[in-house]
Amino acid sequence: MSEGEISILEREEIERKEILKRYKSLLRSIRHELTSEQKKGIRAAFDLALDAHKDMRRKSGEPYIYHPIAVARIAAQEIGLGTTSIICALIHDVVEDSNYTVDDIKRKFGEKVSKIVDGLTKIKEVFDHTDSMQAENFRKMLLTLSDDVRVILVKLCDRLHNMRTLESMSRKNQLKIASETLFLYAPLAHRLGLYNVKSELEDLSIKYTQREAYKDISTKLNAKKAARDRFIKKFIEPIKEKLEGTNLKFEIKGRPKSIYSILKKMKQQDIPFEEVYDLFAVRIIVDADPEREKSDCWTAYSIVTDIYKPNPSRTRDWITTPKSNGYESLHTTVMSHDGKWVEVQIRTARMDEIAEKGYAAHWKYKNTKDGISNEERSGVDGWLARIKDILENPSTNALEFIDDFKLQLIHEEIFVFTPNGDLKKMPKGASALDFAFEIHTQVGSKCIGAKVNNRLVPISHILSNGDQVEILTSEKQHPREEWLQIVISGKAIARIRNFLRESKRESAEKGKELLKKKFGKEKVDFNEDNIHKLVRYFKVQSALDLYYSIQKELIPADKLQISNIINKKVIASPKPLGAESAAQKSPPKKNEIIVGDEYDLPYSLSKCCSPIPGDDIFGFITIGEGVKIHRTNCPNAVSLMSNYGYRIIKAQWKDSFVKTETRFLAGVKIIGIDDVGVVSSLSNIISKNMGVNMKAITIESHEGTFEGMISVYVEDTKHLDNLINNIKMKHPTMNVYRIEVGS
C-alpha cells in the first residue's frame, strides 16, 4: 500500500470519528428526554443523510454531512425544536442532493416529516430565467409554511449555519448570500421572535457586505471589553445587593449590543462610534411563578429605578402589552452614577426563553409534545393570510413576490407614546394623523401637524416603533378627502368618511335651497317627481348628489333649465354630463384607449397619475374637459370613485396600441449613496444603454446620500420596469421606484 493510499485511509478514519463525535454532540444538545422511538427516528435520519451525502463535500473541503448535523444542532440547542424538526434538519438536503424522493421520505418517516422536507427542498429548475433560484425556493418554502411553521424555523437554522461558514465561498457568493440574508431572513427571524438568530444573521451579513465598518466596530468593542466589564460589574453591584434583600430568585447579566444595531444607530443619528451611549444592555431574569410574573418584574424595576434615574421616554412595558410575536419584557434606560445611559431589560425565565427562541419556545409552555401548538400556528397563518393570494398566483414573478412579502415581515403593530408616556398600539405604517384619531376624534379632525420626538412633522409623517408623539391642532382645520390617502387605521378612515358624509349633507342642504329658488323663479312645483326627473336627466345617483352637485357648481347654472328638462323640451344626453361638451372642445386624437365601448370618445391623460400603457385605468367624466384617464391606483382614485361614482366610466388600452411609437411621460425616484459620477452613470444607463429620452433630471445630495427625480418617456409599464431593473442591476444598493410625474 502506497503512502498516498495510507493518507487517504487515515483521512477517512479521522473524518468518520469526527462525524460520530458531532452526531453524539447533537444528541447531547437535545434538551428534552428522548423516547426509544425518537432515538430510532433521529438515528435513521442520520444514517439516511450519511448515505445521501457520502460522496459530497462543502466548499471548505469538509464532508457535507457536517452541515446537516450542524443545522440539526442549531434547531435542537439554540432554538429548542423537537424531534420532528431535528429529523427534518438532518435530511433537509437529501431529496435535492441524492436519488431519494419525497415519497421515500414519507414511507420511512411519515407524512409530517415528508411535508416539511418537501418545503425545505430546493426546486430543480428556474421557471423564469430572470428570477433567482433562491426566490423560487423561498416561494415554495412559504407555501409549505401554511401547513407547518417548522419549515421556516428549520430553514432559518440552515441559513444561520451557511452564514457561519460563508468564509469559504467566493466574494460574489458572499455578497449575494449576505445581502439576501439581511434583506429577508433576518427580518423573518425577527418577525418570529428569534432575536438571537436575527442578531447573529445581521452581524454576519454586514461582516461581508460592510467589511470595513464591521471590522472597525468589532475592534473598538474588543478594545473596550475590559473597561466595559468593569463598568457593568460596578453598575450591577447595588442592584444585586438590593435584590438579594428580597425573596426574588434572579440572575443578572450584561451583554454588548450587536454590531449591526450599533452601526444602524451610528447611521441613523449620524454619529461616530464614540458617541453611541448604549453599547450594552443589562438583563435581569427573575425566576417567578406564573401568577407572580408581572408583579415580580415590576418589583425588580422599582429597585433599579430607586438606584438609578430612568429616562421617562425610554420605558417600554411589553409585559402588559406583548409584541405580536409573543415578546414580553420590561425595558428602561437609566442614568448610571458615571453619567452614562444604560438599558436594563427585566423579564422572567419563561419570557427570556420566548424572547430568545420566539415561536419555537411556545410549545414548552403550551403543553405540546413536539413543535408548535395549534394556537401559535394559527397565529402565524393569520400573518400569512395577507400574502396568500400572492403566494398562490402562478403569474406572479418570484422577485416581485419577495418585494411584496418583505413588507409583511415587519411587525403587524407598533407602539407609540403620548407626551405623557401613555402607550398606544398602532398598525405598522400608521401616520401622525392616524395617531391623532387614535387619541380622540376631535383631535384627529383638528390635526394640522405633530411633534415626533420633539421634531415638527406633517400629518402624513409615518410613525416608527417607540416614537413619542404630540399632536398639534387648530380650530380652523377639518377633515379633507385627501386625508383618506394618508391614514391606514380603520378608526381614522371611518371618522374621516363620517365627516365627509356629514359635510356633503350640509352642502347638499345649501344646494337644495338654491334649487328651490330656481324652481320658484321658473314657477315649477318643487316635488319628488320633478326632482327625480332632474336626477335621471343629469345621471346622478340620488337627490342628495343632485343638490351637492348644484352647490359645488358641478352642474353649471346654464345647464339647469328646469322647466325645459321637466317638460322634456330638451333631450337628455345618452352619456353622463360633460361628455358631449368635451367632444366639441377636444380635437380628435390617436385612439390608444377605448373609453366605455367606444373608440372615438375624446379623452386626455390625467396629470395627477400619468397613466401609461399596461396600467389599469378608468375614465372620469369632467365638466367641460371631457373624459380624464386615471390609473386605478391614482392618489385621487378612491376619492373620485367614492364621491362621484356616477361619473366613472370604464376604459382600457387597445391591444394593438403597444405597436405604436408613442411615448408616455413617467417619473422615477432614485435614492442612494452619493458618489462621484452618479449622474453620469444614471444618464448612461437611461439614455445610452436603454435608449430612453429624459425630459428632466434633478439630483440633490445630503450628508453622503442623494435623492433624484427623473422624468422619462417610455412605451409602457414593461419598458419602465426594464429601465428600473437595469438601474437596480447596475446599482444594487439604490432604491429605485416609480412616482407620479412632478411629485
Instruction: Just list the catalytic residues.
Output: 96-97
Amino acid at 695: K
250/370 Cα distance (integer angstroms): 29
Round to whole Å and give the CA distance between 694 and 254. 56
Q: Report how far Cα 40 is from the mean position of its chain's Cα atoms.
A: 42
C-alpha cell of residue 625 = 374637459
Q: Tell me the C-alpha distance between 615 and 621, whole Å.
A: 19
What residue ranges in 474-528 does DSSP mark as E strands? none
The CB density around residue 464, as the number of other CB atoms within 10 Å, is: 12
CA distance 740 to 597: 28
- CA atoms of 358 and 108, how far apart (whole Å): 30
Q: Are 161 and 120 in contact (CB under 8 A)?
A: no
Whether 194 and 358 have beta carbons less than 8 Å apart is answered as: yes
Sign of the four-CA dihedral 530, 532, 537, 542: positive
DSSP-based three-state secondary structure for 363: helix
Phi, psi values for residue 149, rounded to 5°: -65, -20
DSSP 598: B
Spell out the residues 6+ positions from residue 156 whose beta carbon is closer than 8 angstroms to its own.
79, 185, 188, 189, 192, 194, 197
d(CA 39, CA 32) in angstroms, rounded, equals: 12
3-state secondary structure of 416: strand
In 3D, which of 363, 284, 300 has the Cα closest to residue 326? 363
CA–CA gap between residue 146 and residue 606 (Å, rounded)? 42
- Would you state the cell numbers that stand for residue 179, as one nine-digit string? 445581502
Rg (CA), the chain: 32
Amino acid of residue 363: W
Backbone angles phi, psi at 28, to 5 degrees: -70, -25
Bridge-based pairing state of the strands 735-739 and 664-673: antiparallel
The position carrying cell 328646469 is 562
From 701, 708, 698, 609, select the one nearest 651 (Cα to Cα).
Answer: 609
